[in-house]
Structure 1
Amino acid sequence: MTDVTIAPEGNFITLKAGERTARFHAIWLRDNAWDEATRAPANGQRLIALRDIPAETRVSAAKADGQRLTLTFAPENKTVEYDVDWLMQSRYDRPQETGAGWTGEGIETWDSGLMARVPQGDFTAVQSDAGAKRDWLAQVARYGFGKLTGGPIENGALFKVVDLFGHVRETNYGRHFEVRTEVNPTNLAFTGLGLQAHTDNPYRDPVPTLQILYCLESSAAGGENMVVDGFRVAERLRSENPEWFDVLAGHCARFEYAGEAGVRLQSRRPMIELAPDGALIGVRFNNRSAAAITDVPFDKMETYYAAYRRMGEIIDDPAMEVTFRLEPGESFIVDNTRVLHARKGYSGTGKRWFQGCYADKDGLLSTLAALEAPMAEAAE
């Protein structure tokens, strides 16, 4: 049963649909009208600006009929129909998250316990079957990383992974980069040394939000890949010492890279990044690329370094890591705003050849949403 009442001044309505109740302001409802005069039918984009809606907009009449809500707005005398389920899914009159460091409903943080169920998909299935692609992308979105097995063993195969959901983001490293031992490397990633778990390119603003690593040869001993959930790291730090969490979230670190002629990349961002409402939206951690920290007041610098040290200790804790080995034709994708990745050291014998590239998360999330839309429509 659906019921609607108008506030005495008409500035909001109260909508009840089954056990759900929510209030909606008149100006919000008018701004979110889906009639053809307000939104383009082909793409849903607004055809009017807020300046075209009277500031004194009020609801003058309302009628609820099942899943349809009909409202009339004054002073325009404009009548608009709404889908009740859409309104309830979009409601903002609900308990809000409080405190700093909360994560959204679609995110699941993890530690080494995820090793028994590493998110993965089969390349051929993901490439050819929309359902398999949807399921794999959903895992990447939830956990921040995912493997693909059974891919082609050929130069540039990583581009076929990106083609599944988006586009390559080209950087000063080119469209892709080689990851194997080099003489006089421009970056420590190109040696056989082990690397501490880190996020890539923290010196960029914005950072590439996805990284893809693709294995072409893997006969060297060692070199296992490792991932750590930066969001779980932040949650653990907050539970241990809220002051340390706050100092890393409340002050900017600085990062820089100048390893090539004509390149001097710099950024200024916190290691733990929060949205204005406290949502955890990003982690930047890369000791190799950290510049001098100059944005922390003198009286907080010792606290900052204590927090920085402890964050590194949590990242290094084996209880936080998921480790796996990639064989030729296998790859993995990682959310570079959330999940830190690392590599165990490997020997100088045998061969180890990976190729890597960057892409952006908006393409992945867009592809996932488009694949999920028919499923949601079928459930209605």
Structure 2
Amino acid sequence: MSLETAGLLQDGEAVCLQWSDGKTARFHAIWLRDNAQDPETRASGNGQRLITILDIPANTRLASAEIKAGDQLHLRMTPENKELVFSGNWLRKRIYDTPAVTDRGWCPKHITTWDAGLNASVPTVDLNQAKADRTSLANWLEGVRRYGLAIMTGLSTDSGSLCEVAELFGYIRETNYGRWFEVRSEINPVNLAYTGLGLQAHTDNPYRDPVPTLQLLACLENSADGGESMVVDGFKAAQVLRQESPESFDLLARFPVRFEYAGADDIRLRAKRPMIELGPDGELIAIRFNNRSSAPYTDIPFESMADYYRAYRKLAEIIERPEMEVTFKMKAGDLFIVDNTRVLHARKGFSGAGTRWLQGCYADKDGLLSTLAALEEKMQEAAE
């Protein structure tokens, strides 16, 4: 699609553009000036802005707008008498002239929520393939972005091998548990994850601020009976809760709760956040659900506490529904990664016979999303 028309609005306060497919959108003069792509406004190397809002005249207006060959919009700004050029494609990707979002708990288009139906199509890649082929790595990372879950096979069973996976896209986030941590039976464990007990579906480390946004779990040995891994899409659970009990959804999104962890004499981790976190525009941002790490709730009014617990129970019941879970048995050399702000993971109990040894580590989504964006940009350039 190419630009076809450009008309000034409100004495140059804005411009209305129309593309060849009939799409129209308005852009304010102040927005266009702030987002100018010229070298006086943006650094050519990293694209960072070189001016502040105070460098832009408050009475900025458009004096003219003209479409020229090559799908280019040429603008002249007053009172600076500054010439700006934008491509129609660049503007098309950044249209903000859309209806205001009024829904609470919506997800962006790159997010796909899921239930047990994902069992047969969890994004999966072999480590060597991901290392050798950028497209395979990009597809795997895109799966993490879309579903909050992916599996990788073909890892070494050497201790610490999962670090290689994290370093494919970002950096390990070291915590009090170390650069990585062991998940196997121990005597007098410091955490219930280190026993053979089954674990309720949960997100990890809600007592941290900020919480680790990615968790990786790699299997080094697994000859024990049971111990299947289970994952649940917390965003899907929140959507079901909103459909079945809007008042419960509102309570869990409105009030914060407290989480804490004291694993040693010198460790006191505490955080206060809602179980269902929404952005200012209602976007579903994060789920925090961890019964083991919940502290006494003291930020909910007396009049709402009983209703809050009913809402909490309702969400827990939804999470426990068999139709919500994806279940798989890990074998040596397998790894799965979850978006820890979204996907809850669990484990069925396992017996003392045989050995079950997993290692886990944390990373953050900013590295993964940065690597994915760079890969997608390079693939787009190669395709053009």
TM-score, normalising length: structure 2: 0.97
Work out the CA distance in 1 between the residues paired with 2:115 and 2:156: 30
1:192-249 alpha-carbon deviations (Å, 9 max, x no partner): 0000000000000110000000100111111111100000000000000100000000
Alpha-carbon distance, 1:17 to partner: 1.0
Give, as a single letter, the amino acid of the residue that structure 2 aligns with 1:232: K
The alpha-carbon deviation at position 260 of structure 1 amounts to: 1.3
Correspondence for 1:17 among 6, 11, 19: 19
Is the Cα contact below 8 Å between 2:223 and 2:356 reproduced in 1?
A: yes
1:305 corresponds to which residue?
309
The Cα shift of 1:378 comes to 4.4
- Cα distance change on mapping 1:161 and 1:10 into 2, 3 Å: same
Deviation at 1:119, TM superposition (A): 1.6
Aligned to 1:262: 266
State the shift of 1:379 in Å: 5.0
Which runs of structure 2 are paired with 1:1-380 in the superposition (5 Å)?
1-18=3-20, 19-65=22-68, 66-379=70-383
Structure 1 position 270, deviation (Å): 0.2
Give structure 2 stretches of 5+ with no counterpart.
none
Once the two structures are TM-superposed, the CA of residue 9 in structure 1 deviates from its matched residue by 1.6
* Unaligned 5+ runs, structure 1: none
Q: Is the 8 A contact 2:157 2:220 kept in 1?
A: yes
Between the aligned partners of 2:177 and 2:265, the Cα distance in structure 1 is 12
SS of residue paired to 2:373: helix
Residue 267 of structure 2 aligns to a residue whose secondary structure is coil
Structure 1 residue 95 displacement after superposition? 2.3
CA RMSD of aligned residues (A): 0.9
Which moves more between the two structures, 13-22 or 331-340? 13-22
Give the Cα separation in 2 of the matches to 1:125 and 1:95: 43
Give the distance between the partners of 2:314 and 2:58, measured in 1 at CA: 51
Note the C-alpha offset of 1:98.
2.0
> Do the aligned partners of 2:170 and 2:363 also contact (CA within 8 Å) in 1?
yes
Amino acid at match of 1:5: G
Counterpart residue type for residue 59 of structure 1:
L
Cα distance in 1 for partners of 2:348, 2:289 equals: 18
- The TM-score normalised by the length of structure 1 is 0.98
1:63 & 1:124 partners in 2: Cα distance? 51
State the aligned residue count: 380
The 1-side partners of 2:44 and 2:50 are apart by: 10
**What is the rounded CA distance, in whole Å, between the counterparts of 1:155 and 1:99 in structure 2?**
46
> Identity over aligned residues, as a percent?
59
Contact conserved, 2:155 with 2:162, CA < 8 A, in 1?
no
In 2: Cα distance, 1:119 partner to 1:261 partner: 41
How far is 1:298 from its partner? 1.2
2: CA distance, partners of 1:94 / 1:303: 36
Shift >4 Å, 4+ stretches:
none
> C-alpha separation between the residues in 2 aligned to 1:360 and 1:244?
30
Q: Distance in 2 between matches of 1:96 and 1:328?
A: 49
Deviations 1:101-139 (A, max 9, x none): 000000000000111112211111011110100010011
User: Partner amino acid for 1:292?
Assistant: P
Letter in 1 for 2:140: W
**3-state SS of paired residue (2:186):** coil
CA contact (8 A) 2:185 2:196 kept: yes
Distance in 2, matches of 1:378 and 1:306, equals 54
Write the distance in 2 (CA, Å) between the matches of 1:252 and 1:270. Answer: 4
Deviations, residues 141-185 of structure 1 (Å, cap 9, x unaligned): 100010001111211100001011000001111111001000000
1:379 and 1:109 map into 2 onto residues whose CA distance is 29
